Every structure is written in structure tokens, then in C-alpha cells.
Amino acid sequence: MKKFILIALCASLVACKKEINSTNTTVVDNYIYEVNPQEVYQSNADKDKQKTSNQYISILYSNLFQTAIPLQEITDLSQIRLAIGDKQIADELILNGFANAPNIQIPSNSQMRADVELFIEQTYLRFYLRKPTAYENLQLKQLIDEDPDLTPQHIYQSFALSNEYKYY
């Protein structure tokens, strides 16, 4: 019997043992990467969804007045826009109504001509949510420089009635 106990004791010492993983598991909840922040602007080629009447009017109002449109006004204008068959004419009428309002936020002609490059960049960001390409910048700068009768109001109206503005 002593032999049996001795064999059982030796067998238990060399028998299967549970292997213990000696590596420590570290859980990290927050990685910090040193990445330079970049401003990202959508290109006009990526805009393929047409704005609804409410979206168009609301965004147009915000771009021109730098404030949110009152609920009753957007409701009335949206119904008018939907009732008129030709949306381009409806948009022109709404835009002309906004352009003649006393509290519209448009730079003056002297402000525009004082820094044309800045005016162009801010206009593209305001209406198209992107920076102008080099060609767009050159073309608009030439238009402004060559035509003394061209006002910021004319430029804002052309941006607001453009096809790119009607899409997001």
C-alpha cells in the first residue's frame, strides 16, 4: 500500500497541470494619436441629393440673415414654393423677398473690394460649404475686378440660385 501511495503522490506531481498564462492583459480605453487637425470640405461632385423645400428655404434664410428662420415663415414660404409649378421662379421670388429685407447680412461693396480673395472664400464657404478651386477663385476675382457695378448682393443671388446650392 505504501507503494501505491508513493506512486499516486509521484503521479500527482508530474500529472496534467493547468497551464497558467503568464502574460498580463492590459486594457487601454483611450488611444491618443498625434494627428494634425485638417479642415475637410465636400467637393461639388459629391453633392447628389436635392434639398427639400423646407431645407432650401431654411438654409437660404440662415445664409442670408445668419439666424434661424421663424417656424411660421418657413411654413408659409414652403407652401408657396410647393404651390408654384416652376421651382426656379419660386426660388427667385423668395430670394428677392429676402434680399430686400432690412436685416439681411451681406457685406458692403467696399468691404468686398477691399479684400476680394477673402470675400470669395467666405462666400464659397457660406453657400457651398467648401473652398473655391483655383479656377473658380480666378474667374470670380476677374468678374469682380472687371465689373464695378457687380455688388455682393448680385453674387449672393447667383450663388443661391445655382444648381450646386440646391443639392447637398
Could you tell me if residue 155 is inside a domain?
Answer: yes
Closest CA to 115 of 149, 154, 141, 146: 141
Same domain flag for 64 and 79: yes
Model-wide pTM > 0.75: no
Hunting for cell 500529472 — which residue is that? 15
Residues 90 and 126 in one domain: no
Q: Decide: helix, strand or coil at residue 133.
A: coil
> Same domain, yes or no, for 101 and 122?
no
Residue 78 sits in the same domain as residue 132: no
Domain match, 125 and 163 both: yes
Residues 118 and 161 in one domain: yes
Same domain, 79 and 115: no
Per the structure, the count of domains in the chain is 2
114 and 168 part of one domain: yes
Residue 50 has pLDDT above 80, yes or no: yes
Residue 150 belongs to a domain: yes
- Grid coordinates belonging to 112: 468686398
- Residue 27 has what pLDDT? 57
Whether residue 111 sits in one domain with residue 100: no
Does residue 35 lie in a domain region? no
145-152 mean pLDDT: 95
pLDDT higher than threshold 70 for residue 5: no
Whether 6 is covered by a domain: the verdict is no
Tell me how far apart the alpha carbons of residues 126 and 120 are, in angstroms, rounded to a whole number: 10
23 within some domain = no
Domain with 161, as residue range(s), is 107-168
Rounded to whole angstroms, the Cα distance separating 162 from 63 reads 14
Same domain, 113 and 97: no
Residue 142 CB partners (closer than 8 Å, separation 6+)? none
- pLDDT for residue 15 is more than 60: no
CB–CB of 121/132 below 8 Å? Answer: yes
**Rounded mean pLDDT, 103-124:** 95
